[in-house]
Structure 1
Amino acid sequence: MDYPHPLIQLKDNKIDLSQAYDHGIGDWDKLAINWGYREFNVKNEEKYLEEILQEGYKEKIYFITDQDSRPQSSAHPRSHLWDNGYSASDELNRMLLIRRYILDNFSDNAIQKGVPMSNIEEVLVPMYLLHRFQIEAASKVVGGLDYFYAMKGDGQLITKMLTFEEQNNAFKALLNSINPKNLVLPEPLLKLIPPRAYGYPRTRETFKSKTGLTFDPLTAPETATDMTLSMLLNHERASRLIVLKSRNNNQLGLDYMIKQLVNNTILNTNTSLKGF
């Protein structure tokens, strides 16, 4: 995790936002302040500064900056923007359950009285794409490489390949995100979204439509699926999967990923959901 996403929880069959944002400063802030501002009345200051860093390493507090966090093709398994938890795959599966609950219970309570019903779509879009940052986080585990900005003699991890299990768990979570059960919009919700009201045109905050003026229930799944597949099939990630497999035959590999992707999508058409 780099920057945390608001922590959304499901408690007693209700959305709980009581811990959406943490209080005070985090462990990283405390370590940085301690290292940067502590004064020592000793000559060997560097030794004590190094001890502060070593304590941080023991607590799994590391420094990985934006150059390794922001690119969609990046490989670090834990340096992500707007995600929670130590395991990106576990958090993605958790977010998908919360998102499914939100979609299944979506109603006109999402907008104020007197507002055009078509404005439900503006509220629906961020909820439908609630998991978008976690998709990016989980994708970085596939073909990922654990590493730190190690210096000679500081004891930090230099590089370490992720296990097949770690990568496959992330891959399965990403496949779960494009399962029709996680893409379909419930019929009661579709009945609540009319064509755009006069004076309220489509914008970048609404889904595109291939059905003219009416709300298109398939472009939302198309958008979400494209997010997952574009991350998984990123050309630099694909190249990394090939290289890692050539170095260690126990790695996930591009061939395995492509075969599983095809088997779980094109060759496994789900006919139990109308419209898919």
Structure 2
Amino acid sequence: MILIDLSDAYATGIGKWDKFTVDWLYGQPAAGTDPDAAAAAKADAAQRAGMRYLTDIDGRDASLAVPGDSMWTEGDDGPADLAHVMAVRRVALARFGPGVLHAGAPLSDLRRSFVPVWLFHRYAVAAIGKTLGGVHYSYATAGDSAPAPTRGSAAEQAEALDALLATLSPAALTVPPALALTLSSGVNGNADPQYDSEVLDTAGGAVFDPLVATDVAAQVTLETLLAPTRLTRLHLQHAADEALPGVNTLLDRLTRDIIMRHDDAVTQRIALRTILAIASAARAPATTPDVALRLDGALEGLRERFGRDKRDPWAQGVARLLGDTTALERALAPTKRSVPAIPPGMPIGG
């Protein structure tokens, strides 16, 4: 049995940033020293030591650009950290069941406990996504020692993309069948909006729908990957340096690794959500025209490719959907049936 070891979950003592902020706020310059000069020297020393200060403006949203500037994560915000989070998630899901509840608690409460485990990786996904099309920058003043802005290397971005695509694999997004039935206990009482906002949609009554869970977790990654501003940065960086990934790089990987692997109900749901996410990004007001053309081109290529597969009813259905503007717009409309809602995440200021 694999267990999660929490013996070193928290660091001992305070870190160098804590020490810097205490000294910055309360430290007094030596007698006869200009306070402004002393403060500038402290800030310069912090920059030279590799410390960086950025606010929520540059870090809270998953579409933002600065690698390492994220919330609710631990570690260096690198692909290895996301892989570790996914491993912890696998252990937690393997051990998930009635035993996580207090004795006498309604079994229906399992659905509320399930969401934080199922979406345990959501903040790590947002963090690693910032490497893709990311730019390392800081708050700087003329003449200080802050490094100039730089783009993430091709190797860093490729590794981040691999880690993010792994979160869209069927292994990551399949709810164990026995667990799906365990999550189907009924609720005795009237609907509670506060309760309902923290659970996934069901398949009728209390019957748990594992494909909704698949869909929602896929959306978490796809919203990060296909954020219009991220797509713009990919387009710009590839135009500046062809060694760096561009929009087509991302679309090719999504097509090869996700969309074209549609062998069963889970992989078909992941593939369809990916296709719809691309279509949604193409129509987003923040998506630039040159990026939208590439997204539409990918969708047209998929329509033609699926249309040629006469033996696969699912592929034929996708081809018809992509060829019918009205039907596609209906599929993109944010209704409970077409786009299952992602339960709220960030507890503060979200």
| Superposed pair shares fold, TM > 0.5 | yes
Q: 1:58 to 1:155 in 2, by over 3 A?
A: closer
**Cα distance in 2 between the residues matched to 1:184 and 1:83:** 24
In structure 1, the residue matched to 2:329 is none
Q: CA deviation at 1:31?
A: 0.5
Q: CA deviation at 1:26?
A: 3.5
Higher normalized helix content (fraction of residues): 2
Paired letter, 1:240:
R
Q: Does 1:228 align with 2:217?
A: no
Decide which moves more: 128-137 or 266-275.
Answer: 266-275
Matched length: 265
Decide which moves more: 63-72 or 22-31.
Answer: 22-31
Q: 1:227 to 1:38 in 2, by over 3 A?
A: same
% identical aligned pairs = 28
Cα root mean square deviation, aligned: 2.3
Q: 1:275 to 1:236 in 2, by over 3 A?
A: closer
Contact 2:173–2:266 (CA under 8 A) maintained in structure 1? no
Q: CA deviation at 1:90?
A: 1.6
Contact 1:68–1:74 (CA under 8 A) maintained in structure 2? yes
Decide which moves more: 170-179 or 212-221.
Answer: 212-221
**Cα distance in 1 between the residues matched to 2:128 and 2:119:** 15
Q: CA deviation at 1:85?
A: 1.4
Contact 1:69–1:79 (CA under 8 A) maintained in structure 2? yes
Contact 1:180–1:270 (CA under 8 A) maintained in structure 2? no
Contact 2:47–2:145 (CA under 8 A) maintained in structure 1? no
For residues 53-72 of structure 1, the C-alpha deviation after alignment (integer angstroms, 9 at most, x for no partner) is 23322432111111101133
SS at the partner of 1:218? Answer: helix
Gap regions ≥5 residues in structure 2: 270-350
Gap regions ≥5 residues in structure 1: 1-11
Paired letter, 1:72:
A
Q: Does 1:31 align with 2:17?
A: no
Indicate which of 252, 259, 265 corresponds to 2:258: 265
In structure 1, the residue matched to 2:341 is none
For residues 147-204 of structure 1, the C-alpha deviation after alignment (integer angstroms, 9 at most, x for no partner) is 1112122111121011011111111111011111011122332232224222164601
Decide which moves more: 111-120 or 74-83.
Answer: 111-120
Q: CA deviation at 1:221?
A: 1.1
Paired letter, 2:23:
N
**Cα distance in 2 between the residues matched to 1:54 and 1:14:** 44
TM score, norm. by length of structure 2: 0.70
Paired letter, 1:101:
V
Paired letter, 1:34:
D
Q: Does 1:88 align with 2:81?
A: no
Contact 2:187–2:206 (CA under 8 A) maintained in structure 1? no
Q: How does 1:48-127 map to 2 (within 5 A)?
A: 48-127=38-117
Q: CA deviation at 1:52?
A: 2.5
**Cα distance in 2 between the residues matched to 1:46 and 1:195:** 64
In structure 1, the residue matched to 2:167 is 177
Q: 1:29 to 1:270 in 2, by over 3 A?
A: farther
